[in-house]
Amino acid sequence: MKHRIEQAGWNRQEHFAFFSQFEEPFFGVVADLDATRAYARAGELSVSFFQLYLHATLAAVQTVENLRYRINPDGQVDCYDQIHVSPTLARPDHTFGFGFVPYVPDLAEFGLGLAAEKELVRQTPGLCLSPRTARSDVIHFSAMPWIAFTGLTHARSFAHPDSIPKISVGRLRPEGNRQLMSVAINVHHGLADGYHVGLFLAELQRRLDG
């Protein structure tokens, strides 16, 4: 479900109009989050670390209204009640396909959907483009467990209107007795500011801590 944001009187009306004129309206930040407890908890629960932090990420997105805003084809802004995820899922041949996993609050139930989608991508060649992966009520998510990155850019077609947040995570990096994880988030500046990104990162850290 979604509802329309009436722009007349909206406190972001001028921000939205201003940044929507940009060729590149997205901005992004990279932050280190502490994944020590989350990594240990994944082992205790016998689930993959990927499943746990992907679910935590998606749960954190639900709590920040501005990350649920999307610009529709008419140029209006809709707010979705719930956001799902279109992740890049790897294959044994080191290619990837785009998937779609619905959000459910229960970690185990979410894992069932994730496992089914990973198997579908493994058995399907190419990018797996479909109406499911082209939905607006998603975040675009990628994991790069080989790299502890400090910056990140995304391939983007500026001719194609886009307002979907892009979230990526990197390799765990030991620091003292902690395991840090790079988290990058890129969002449309007409819809969200650094404040909202900060809310998301704080909530994600809280959920990683369990």
Average pLDDT estimate for 168-187: 98
pLDDT number for residue 158: 83
Tokens 């892009």 appear where? 166
pLDDT tens for 117-160 read 999 999 999 999 999 999 999 999 999 999 999 999 999 888 88
Average pLDDT, the chain: 97
pTM of the model: 0.97
Report the sign of the C-alpha dihedral through residues 165, 116, 170, 90, in that order: negative
Domain boundaries, the chain: 2-209
Of the ranges 24-33, 102-111, 127-136, 155-164, which one carries the lowest mean pLDDT score? 155-164
- Would you identify the CATH topology of the domain 2-209? Chloramphenicol Acetyltransferase (3.30.559)
Q: What is the pLDDT of residues 43-95, one digit of tens each?
A: 999 999 999 999 999 999 999 999 999 999 999 999 999 999 999 999 999 99
Residues 6+ apart with CB under 8 A from 87: 54, 98, 99, 101, 117, 140, 141, 142, 143
Cβ proximity of 56 and 42 under 8 Å = no
pLDDT of 207 reads 98
